[in-house]
Structure 1
Amino acid sequence: MTGPQGFAWGYPHLRPAAAAAVLVTAAAALLLGGCGSGGSGGDGDRAADRPSAPVSAAVSAPAGDPAATATAPPGDAPATTEAPGSAADAPKVPDAQLTPPGGGSFTKQQKTYLSGRVPRGTDPAAVLEGGQEICDRLTRTAKIDKDAAAGAIITGDISMSGAAAAVTALCPDQQPVIDAARRGFGDGTFTVAAKAVPGRSVAPGGYRAPNPSPSCTWRVTGANGATLASGGGARLTVPAAARGITSSGCYAWLASGGT
């Protein structure tokens, strides 16, 4: 396959995929129909060619990602799916030694992404491929449904850290998707704070669930766990007096106004 600025690589054996099961939006179903839900598309078995919208069939995560689940357990941060080497503690390849295995050089954007992310003994092209597949996946899905792209990050189908690193260096045009995901939250139990911390706290304000299941329910609590509001609709308001929020079957909440 061919990467940015014409750089070519091909390491299918370095791209393990993990499955995550979630619901599909009508718009993302169009994308799924074009690529096939079984893991093979017209231009190869790539996670980038599959929608990042919640889907009912198994969806492969980007190369090198560990298994991710669509719904985080109550109180837990969403599952993470990192590009290869991004979270490794092993010594990293110095920036000056980051070169393609077949010779030549990486572009400035590619070097920015790879800097400090390639453990010694790891093919930098495989690490780069993981980041590019995140960008491809977000770009393809956001073109059809921006809510679905942000939802994939909120639910942990694509990790926030992996997506943020890839978008910053390789596809900055997708920054609005990252911003929307950072303001949202998924199923689980969270505290309410003045500033949202992805996977931990929710900021006061209005929220909407673009793709809730029929069993979607939520509850907003105040001091001493008293219920301030509860319901089963796809919209909710978290007041400033709230201290906690619990959601089940709603999958991903986005701040009102969306992406």
Structure 2
Amino acid sequence: MPIYVKDAALAVGGAVGIASLIYVLREALVRAKTDFDKWKTELDKELGIDRIKLNKSLAFGIQTRSCDVHVAGAVKCKDLECSYGPLSFMLDIIDQAKKSVDICIYIITAQVFADAIIDAKNRGLRVRIIGDSDMSFSAQSSINTFRQLEFPVRQRMSNYIMHHKFILVDDEIVMNGSLNFTMTGALGNWENVIVSSHPEIVQPFLVEFQTLWEEFDPNNPITETDVYRHNRRTKTHDI
């Protein structure tokens, strides 16, 4: 074999080796960065550091106008002075979720909320729903749809009303307030929702959701006292 052919073969082999080395190093750096980001996220949580810095108070019912686009049925809107703005703000946060959406709610009938939750599930996110034992079975409740789609849904017979109204996104953001997830609540009532990514605010909601989720496990027995109290529950709820 001529010497120049050998030299060319060595050069090609060397180039392939260098390319392989660069690829391996690049993959190692990507993994290292991912591990570092996870570690830093956990450290920030332990130290109570607000990484996302999303802290917003949403007021419903004080707006006196709607943007023209909503005449045609559009919901999304970046203008918080528009009557659709606060609703759109909440939907955007659900749409931007990357890992999980946990919902603890008295009632949900607004299709726009249901669609956002279904889309999150379709994107492969963990979605869990806790509802009120009476309202989750009402004819207009979106939770009926979630059950049909085999979403994990839990509720429990009790004299206590599940009156929570909060959403946890990626275990890092909480949206909590007076708003039931209904179009009447979003567009026809005076309501409020606080949105926060501050760990000291988010953490109690994470604990509360997980506590209820485990307590409402269908494998936990329902006692005769639970049924008795459930049957005597007064149904005088404003939606």
Normalised to the residue count of structure 1, the TM-score between the two structures is 0.28
Specify the structure having the higher radius of gyration (Cα).
2
Normalised to the residue count of structure 2, the TM-score between the two structures is 0.30
Q: Which structure has more helix as a fraction of its residues?
A: 2
Question: Relative contact order: is structure 1 or structure 2 higher (C-alpha 8 Å, sep ≥ 6)?
Answer: 2
